[in-house]
Structure 1
Amino acid sequence: MSTYFVFSDESGMLYRAVEYEPSVNNKFFVRGSIIIGADDWLVLKNEFERLRNRYGITSELKWSDLWILKNGKSKASKIPERVTYQDAIRFVRESLMILEKCSYCKLIYTVTFNDDPSLQKYSKEELYKMQIENLIERIEFEMKNLDKDNNRSIAVLFLDWVGTKDNQILRNTYHKVYTSGRFIKTFKHIKDSLAFDFSHQSVGIQLADYCVGAFHGVLRHCIDRSNYQESFDIFKTSLKQFIAKNESGNYMGFGILPVPGGKGSYARRKLEELLNDTLK
Structure 2
Amino acid sequence: MGIRFGFSDECGNYQPVRTEKQNNIHPYYFRSLFLMDGDDYKLLSNKFKALKTEFGLPQKEIKWAHIWSLRSCQRYGKAPKENKDFYFLKDIDYHKIIDFAERSLLLLTELENCKTIYTITNNKSNAKFSEKDLFKMHITTLLQRVQFETQIKQNDLSVLFFDPIGDKKSKLLRETYFDIQTKGDFVKNYSHIKDSLNLEYSHHSAGIQIADFLAGVITGVLKGYDRSIEIFNKAVYPTLRHNKRKILGAGICEVPTNNNHRNELREFLKKHCQ
In the superposition, the TM-score normalised over structure 2's length comes to 0.90
Q: Secondary structure at the match of 2:15?
A: coil
Give the letter aligned to residue 158 of structure 1. F
Mapping for residues 113-128 of structure 1, pairs under 5 Å: 113-117=122-126, 119-120=127-128, 122-128=129-135
Preserved contact between residue 60 and residue 200 of structure 1 (Cα < 8 Å): yes
Q: What's the offset of the Cα at 1:277?
A: 2.6
Q: Does 1:132 align with 2:126?
A: no
Q: Superposition RMSD on alpha carbons, in Å?
A: 1.9
Q: Distance in 2 between matches of 1:205 and 1:255?
A: 18
CA offsets, 1:101-160, max 9 Å, x none? 21111100000001111x22x212111111111110110011113x1xx2x111111001
For structure 1, the 5+ residue unaligned runs are 222-227
Q: Give the letter for the 1:278 counterpart.
A: H
The CA distance in 2 between the partners of 1:185 and 1:153, in whole Å, is: 15
Q: CA separation in 1, counterparts of 2:234 and 2:45? A: 22
**CA separation in 2, counterparts of 1:190 and 1:217?**
31
Report the Cα distance in structure 2 between the residues aligned to 1:193 and 1:267, rounded to whole angstroms: 32
Give yes or no for the alignment of 1:42 onto 2:52. Answer: no
User: Residue 80 of structure 1: CA displacement?
Assistant: 3.8
1:237 matched to 2:237? The reply is: no
User: 1:184 Cα deviation (Å)?
Assistant: 8.1
Change (3 A) 1:279 1:87: closer
Secondary structure in 2 matching 1:79: helix
Name the SS of the counterpart of 1:127 in structure 2. Answer: helix
Secondary structure of the residue aligned to 1:174 is helix
Residue of 196, 204, 207 corresponding to 1:204 = 207
User: Relative to 1, partners in 2 of residues 1:133 and 1:144: Cα closer, same or farther, differing over 3 Å?
Assistant: same
The within-5 A match list for 1:40-189 is 40-58=40-58, 59-71=60-72, 72=74, 73-75=78-80, 77-117=86-126, 119-120=127-128, 122-145=129-152, 147=153, 150=154, 152-181=155-184, 185-189=188-192
Residue 79 (structure 1) shift: 2.7
Q: Is the 8 A contact 1:160 1:199 kept in 2?
A: yes
- Give the direction of change, closer, same or farther, for the CA distance of 1:219–1:80 in structure 2 (3 Å limit): closer
* Cα drift, residue 244 of structure 1: 0.5
Q: Is 1:254–2:250 an aligned residue pair?
A: yes
Amino acid in structure 1 at the alignment position of 2:56: G
Contact 1:61 1:79 in 2 (8 A): no
Q: Which amino acid aligns with 1:231?
A: S
Q: In the alignment, what sits opposite 1:219?
A: 222
Deviation at 1:182, TM superposition (A): 7.7
Alignment: residue pair count: 264
TM superposition shift of 1:180:
2.8
CA distance in 2, matches of 1:82, 1:268: 42
Q: Aligned partner of 1:68: which letter?
A: S
Tell me which residue corresponds to 2:194: 191
Deviation, structure 1 residue 279: 4.4
| Distance in 2 between residues matched to 1:268 and 1:23, nearest whole Å | 19
Question: Which string of whole-angstrom CA distances, capped at 9 and with x for unpartnered residues, describes residues 69-128 of structure 1?
Answer: 2222544624344321121112112111211221111100000001111x22x2121111
Q: Is 1:269 matched with 2:269?
A: no
Q: Distance in 1 between matches of 2:246 and 2:9?
A: 23
